[in-house]
Structure 1
Amino acid sequence: MKNCLHSKLSFLFFALSLISCESTDGPITYKENSNEYVNDWMYNQMKRYYLWNNAIKNQGNLALNPKEYFKTLLQSEDIYSYALHPEKPETAPQSLRNKFGFDVSFIAFEGKYYGVILYVLEDSPAKNNGLQRGQFITHVDGTELKLENYDKLYTAMTAETQLDLKLISYSAQLGFSNPVSVSLLRGFTFSQPITYQVIEDKNTKIGYVNIPHFDVGQAQLYLQLFQELKSVSITELVLDLRYNGGGDISSAAALSIILAPNIKAEDLFIKFEGNQNGGNVDQSFAEALKSNEFSVSFDALRNSHPSINKVYILCGKCTASASELIINNLKPYMEVITIGEKTFGKDVAGFPIADDRNPAKRGWVLYPSIYKLFNARHEGNYSKGINPEIYLNELQQPEVYLLGNRSETLLQGALNNISGNTNKIKTETVQSLPLSAISTDIDPLLQITP
């Protein structure tokens, strides 16, 4: 009887132990829409897809705000990955370009300090209120720019929904003139036009093309544009990517197919290297094109290739992502001459991961770095930027010309190189000022199709 009772008690203890283990080790469920519910999902997605997933050791504090929690999962070197909620605008990356439609840099000139308008998007709040490349900002929200405050003012500008600016124009002929006050309200700016022209210099026809962004569906635009440039028999090409922060890989592939001489559809264009889950993926020119561009064929793009064997690319600190991909991945197939300043340094790509557990409600979207990028010769690792072949600071002089003007510093540098003119650009008379904050005008994610 004792043995029987002992056996029953032992079995009961064993059963209770099993129940206890099951309740401890089983999946934990969280209340929907709670921080824990969102962050647990974030953690699992990052452990699967993130390039540096092995560096994520544990879940950490799931009670944190999701935006802050996501940051705890990132490698210190990763400044590109981000998370946003489509119904919470404050979670999206903030920049002057996506809020107001312009880019700015800062200079010292004749003992005073200015913000220089460098790039203005078409049909943006900035453009619609009269902002132009080359104007100087003297005051922001009533505060005069000075050495001790320009950096903080820039950071404050990126966080505002309204800007009150005082501006003044400058030319070598007139000096300072036309002071104006402008009030900008945050607004939307949509796809930007690609501009191009033909420059004739000493019987040489040079195509100049400015591409502001790499959008899905641009292959048809490239086709039409380069058919026209080919029809007028250009023999040199200047590609302006200094304010192109990136975009879609298939769009960049479409342009590369047109530019590179003597390539075949099966030639290797790009190498993706991911974690142990994603592995490595190689894509030919044709495969990269078809990943997101369906309206134009490889052969049609090749037929619009002009008679060029090299390309001059104007670049700078806002040249990033897909623009850097163009520079790096064309090098195995043609001469690439970069002119300007060091590029931003974004050598990773990924795809958006949406929380679609509740189809009736939009959830968080992750944009993690998933792949490192390399060209056909396995050249890459430009996370600190690509150094230009010819270094030129576009802010050499206080007069800043419109893009495409032959007197504009970087374009003039390209034309001089093409013509063999060794005359140097005029000595700098302005001092460029650094910014401590990392620009968020760059596309945080170079997009690929999963």
Structure 2
Amino acid sequence: MKNKALSYLFYGIILLIEVIILSSCSSDDPEQVYTEGTNEYTNEWMYGQMKKYYRWNDAMPNQGDLSVNPKEYFARLLKTDDVFSYAMHPALPETAPKSLRQKFGFDISFIEYQGKVLGVILYALYDSPAKNNGLARGQLITSVDGVELTLNNYDSLYKNMTAATQLNLKLISYSAQLGFYNEKQVAISQGFSFTQPLLSQVITNGNTKIGYVEIPHFDVGMAKLFLQTFQELKNKQITELVLDLRYNGGGDIASATALSIILAPNIKSGDLFIEFEGNKNGGIVKQSFQQALESNEKNISFEALKNTHPNIQKVYILCGKHTASASEIIINNLSPFINVITIGEKTVGKDVAGFPVEDDRISGKKDWVLYPSIYKLFNAKHEGGYAAGINPSINADELENPEVFALGNRSEILLNTAINAISGNAGKAKMVKSHALPLSKVYTDADPLLVTP
């Protein structure tokens, strides 16, 4: 009897433990609720959104410490080699990605020439703080805020420039005929740069008419401008085309699609243009030329764009370390439809897209916005995987000489290389007089490629 009583007692204890466990797991229990405005309140939301949308959500760590700064917390959720996803708060400018282009409207690279370290101005955007203060492509920077550039400090000085709100630069010009000349000081304050114009022209090389178009960015609504520009080139009977995307960090996918429709011959509106590959929640999304165009360009028809196709059999694309996102789509997604010849250096490697995820839990209040990598990108042949960058068909370094010509000048190294390739002339071997210096900073100026959720 005693053993039987003990058995009943033991069984009762087990039942009691099970009841307690079940009660603690009951769906009626309230979840942890965090106070609005706290890091925990924001970070819990971030984690949930990333688990839902992030392309590599299966590789995310556990929720972890929710009390840390949201910017730091978001970075902890990312795949190690994901340099494109970011989070920002519209009321906190310090959380936004930093670049010279966004702040001042220009960018630079560094070279070593005759024992000197020089910053080469690659471009100055139209009506930007840089352009309005006299900066132009090809000018050389010798010092920043009174500090002369050296091999030991150029990298850190560049980082400081991207974080600054005002720059004091010592500039000098260079030409093969004059050497160094026209030294001057320039002060630039942070400001805005707006929509940029297209640079287009026809270059006659023997009996060949070459169209040259430089596109600085793929802005929303550019289809009409592309239509006008390429109709003019078609009317001038070009038979070759050089498309300059070397400083185009991307932008609107519908805008890039509109250009692709113009350039790709013998396509139909229903032909597959792009494929988005998400996680298990997002799945695979395929878009035809028509669908990708209509995602943000509904006022210009597919047929109107297609009828503007010039008489070309191939397209030469100038590219480099700033060519990213929608510009890389032009290269990768046009290749199934037309021969694409790239000239320059390896591109950035932004083969991901997404859409902004906003924290709108509190009505009327601006809060954090996430720009996660949601989709990997592929073309009509399911070709993609260019996260390491797209290698050019023809290698060329635009900074192999300290004299850097304006974009569109046929003496400019990349354009000159394209003209030689078109004419079948490999060109004479050039004497390299300078060499580019690397930056440790990961390139962050690639625009988020936004798609319609």
TM-score scaled by length of structure 2: 0.95
Q: 2:124 — aligned with what?
A: 120
Q: 1:255 — aligned with what?
A: 259
Alpha-carbon distance in structure 2 between the residues aligned to 1:263 and 1:145: 51
Counterpart mapping for 1:59-138 below 5 A: 59-138=63-142
Is 1:196 the equivalent of 2:200? yes
Cα RMSD for the two superposed structures? 1.9
Alpha-carbon distance in structure 1 between the residues aligned to 2:56 and 2:406: 42
Letter in 2 for 1:78: D
Letter in 1 for 2:279: N
CA contact (8 A) 1:118 1:133 kept: yes
Is 1:360 the equivalent of 2:360? no
Tell me which moved more, 183-192 or 125-134. Answer: 183-192
How far is the alpha carbon of 1:216 from its aligned partner? 1.1
Q: 1:3 — aligned with what?
A: none
1:293 is aligned, of 276, 293, 297, to 297
1:38 is aligned, of 39, 42, 64, to 42
Counterpart mapping for 1:369-408 below 5 A: 369-408=373-412
* Cα offsets for 1:244-291 (capped at 9, x unmatched): 001111111110000001111111101111100000011111111011
Alpha-carbon distance in structure 2 between the residues aligned to 1:194 and 1:448: 24
How far is the alpha carbon of 1:20 from its aligned partner? 4.1
Q: 1:432 — aligned with what?
A: 436
Equivalent position SS for 1:58:
coil
Letter in 1 for 2:320: G
Q: Which runs of 5+ in 1 are unaligned?
A: 1-5
Letter in 2 for 1:61: D
Alpha-carbon distance in structure 2 between the residues aligned to 1:339 and 1:10: 74
How far is the alpha carbon of 1:19 from its aligned partner? 5.5
How far is the alpha carbon of 1:441 from its aligned partner? 2.1
How far is the alpha carbon of 1:434 from its aligned partner? 0.6
* Cα offsets for 1:162-217 (capped at 9, x unmatched): 11110001111111111110111111111111110111111211110000011110
Tell me which moved more, 50-59 or 422-431. Answer: 422-431
* Cα offsets for 1:44-70 (capped at 9, x unmatched): 000000000011242111101100000
Alpha-carbon distance in structure 2 between the residues aligned to 1:12 and 1:113: 77
Q: 2:336 — aligned with what?
A: 332
Equivalent position SS for 2:186:
strand
Tell me which moved more, 398-407 or 23-32. Answer: 23-32
Is 1:321 the equivalent of 2:325? yes
Alpha-carbon distance in structure 1 between the residues aligned to 2:371 and 2:75: 12
Q: 2:286 — aligned with what?
A: 282
Letter in 1 for 2:40: E
Q: 2:452 — aligned with what?
A: 449
Alpha-carbon distance in structure 2 between the residues aligned to 1:168 and 1:196: 28
Letter in 2 for 1:201: N
Equivalent position SS for 2:230:
helix
Equivalent position SS for 1:41:
helix
Letter in 2 for 1:90: E
Counting aligned pairs with the same residue, the percent is: 66
Relative to 1, partners in 2 of residues 1:425 and 1:295: Cα closer, same or farther, differing over 3 Å?
farther
Letter in 1 for 2:452: T
How far is the alpha carbon of 1:22 from its aligned partner? 4.1
2:186 is aligned, of 182, 195, 199, to 182
Q: How many residues align?
A: 443
Q: Which runs of 5+ in 2 are unaligned?
A: 1-8
Q: 1:144 — aligned with what?
A: 148
Equivalent position SS for 1:163:
strand
Tell me which moved more, 96-105 or 53-62. Answer: 53-62
Alpha-carbon distance in structure 2 between the residues aligned to 1:200 and 1:211: 20
CA contact (8 A) 1:260 1:309 kept: no
Alpha-carbon distance in structure 1 between the residues aligned to 2:270 and 2:151: 54
Relative to 1, partners in 2 of residues 1:21 and 1:196: Cα closer, same or farther, differing over 3 Å?
same
Q: 1:27 — aligned with what?
A: 31
Q: 2:4 — aligned with what?
A: none
* Cα offsets for 1:317-346 (capped at 9, x unmatched): 100011011000011001000000000111
CA contact (8 A) 2:84 2:444 kept: no
How far is the alpha carbon of 1:440 from its aligned partner? 2.0
Alpha-carbon distance in structure 2 between the residues aligned to 1:144 and 1:108: 13
How far is the alpha carbon of 1:422 from its aligned partner? 2.1
Letter in 1 for 2:255: S
Q: 2:53 — aligned with what?
A: 49
* Cα offsets for 1:33-52 (capped at 9, x unmatched): 11011111100000000000
TM-score scaled by length of structure 1: 0.95
Letter in 1 for 2:117: Y
CA contact (8 A) 1:413 1:425 kept: no
CA contact (8 A) 1:164 1:181 kept: yes
CA contact (8 A) 1:409 1:425 kept: no
Letter in 1 for 2:451: I
Alpha-carbon distance in structure 2 between the residues aligned to 1:439 and 1:24: 49
* Cα offsets for 1:143-170 (capped at 9, x unmatched): 0001111111111111111111100011
Relative to 1, partners in 2 of residues 1:426 and 1:207: Cα closer, same or farther, differing over 3 Å?
same
